[in-house]
Structure 1
Amino acid sequence: MDSTNPTSHYSMPTRLMAGAWVVVALLLLLDVLVRGEGREAWIAGSVLAASVAIVYLVWLRPRVVVTERGLRVINPLRETFVPWTAVLWVDVTDVLRVHTRQTIVRSWPLRETKRAKVRDNMRRDAGFLDADDDEDPARMRPVDLAARQLRQDAERYKTRPLSGPIKDVDVAGPAALGAQDAPQTMVPVEVIVVLAATVVVVVGAVLLS
């Protein structure tokens, strides 16, 4: 894997729908700016801007990124960095989960949408069904295939671990700063800025209207 172009896992259908809404919202916002007037225009514009910010945080930003030092599990409001040495297992119940000695890190975007499959996963997790690690990858569900790939990545990177504290966060992410052998979770500055800007836009529109 190229350290400058890490592998990312995310839900493509969700991203496509979110991207479509962003385009529609921007077109509507442009229409409001051109033709809208008065209080209704200010409120409509702020609501559209807020919807774009929410869609970005909830559906476009979240993903799981494979780096040389570990996994970036990016969820809507928080990001967790899991060093490879801390990864014990990766599986799927309702969402993809990264198991460590300290905790289980759940991924927001990588989820199982088929209810019957979720029930089977829950029963398997409780020990009522045998594991299906030998399942043909060609017949695996997308999130199960991602979990399988992440398990393989963990095995590969554990054979040649990189030592020392993580200082370069351009690829590993802000939560990786200073990480040793345990997961670290934080609220990124990006999330705080987007939320704060959204609040300012909405409150400003209400006050100005």
Structure 2
Amino acid sequence: MDNPQQPTAEPVHADRAYRSLSGIAAGVLLLALTGWIGGDALVRGEGLTPWVAFAGLLVLVPLIVAFTLRPAVFANDDRLRVRNPFRTIVLPWQTVADVRAGYSSEVLTEDGATYQLWAVPVSLRQRKTAARRQSRAAAGRDSDRTRPGGALAGGGAPHVAPGDRTIAELRELSEQAGHRPTAGGERRVRWAYEIAGPVVVGSVALLVLLAVG
């Protein structure tokens, strides 16, 4: 007797990853500078200087990593995962009410919570540049229409700032996943203790060393 046919599982799509390249570049430079200065103090310092340098590195290095290298947004057909400096938030799409970009990028949940998307910075300068390009492109299309044999309709992709383009992609994923059964569930929030722990330890050690010194 044949076994009953099992339902076919839906394909699992890889996450789309969004990160700030400028933030990563700044983080690498800051880490190099901090390591050079701190390493020199560790090797050549006298008295309490190496210990102060070590405690300072315990504070600075995790903070630099947290605000530059760590932020990222991962999205697939079912959920959004937001990795911010001190928290990681997992949001099934059915819990998301909106994804928007004003002066910062944010995701709003159905129960009223708001989380910033640190990995998707909003640049007003890039918005103004995109708006100017869009205006010039529109003016060019209007000019073509007035010429004999000119195009009846303009083509080409609209000029949009990178941050706004990312927000539009995330909003589209949210709308497409609205009725998917696999896009449901509860939101999950995890604190980044691997970042906060060294910062707290380094801060306490730095205060003690400065008080003793």
Separation of aligned partners in 2, 1:90 and 1:68: 15
SS at 1:162 equivalent? helix
Secondary structure, aligned partner of 1:82 = strand
Q: Which of structures 1 and 2 has the bigger CA Rg?
A: 2
Tell me the residue number matched to 1:127: none
Mapped partners of 1:4, 1:101: distance in 2: 25
Partner of 1:112: 122
Measured in 2, the distance between the counterparts of 1:155 and 1:149 equals 10
Aligned pairs for 1:74-113 (under 5 A) are: 74-103=83-112, 104-113=114-123
**TM-score under structure 1 length normalisation:** 0.67
Alignment check: 8 A CA contact 1:42 1:206 kept: no
1:195 to 199, 206, 212: 199
Report the 3-state secondary structure (helix = DSSP H, G, I; strand = E; otherwise coil) of the residue aligned with 1:110: coil
* CA deviation map 1:84-121 (0-9, x unaligned): 11223212001112232212322233231327959xxx
Output aligned runs, 1:56-67, within 5 Å.
Answer: 56-67=65-76
User: Structure 1 segments of 4 or more deviating over 4 A?
Assistant: 2-5, 115-118, 203-209
TM-superposed deviation, 1:71 = 1.0
> Do 2:74 and 2:82's aligned partners in 1 also have CA atoms closer than 8 Å?
yes
Structure 1, unpaired ranges of 5+: 119-135, 165-179
Q: Within 2, Cα distance between the matches of 1:26 and 1:45?
A: 10
Instruction: Please report how far the alpha carbon of residue 65 of structure 1 lies from its aligned counterpart in structure 2 after TM superposition.
Output: 1.5
SS at match of 1:38: coil
Contact map agreement 1:97 1:107 (CA 8 A) in 2: yes
- Tell me, in whole angstroms, the C-alpha distance in 2 between the residues paired with 1:30 and 1:4: 44
Is 1:30 aligned to residue 39 of structure 2?
A: yes
Pick one of 17, 20, 26 that aligns with 1:8.
17
Is 1:151 aligned with 2:151? no
Q: Give the match's secondary structure for 2:116.
A: strand
- Report sequence identity in percent: 23
2:79 is aligned to 70
| 1:17 CA displacement | 0.6
Residues 1:140 and 1:116: Cα distance change in structure 2 (over 3 Å): closer
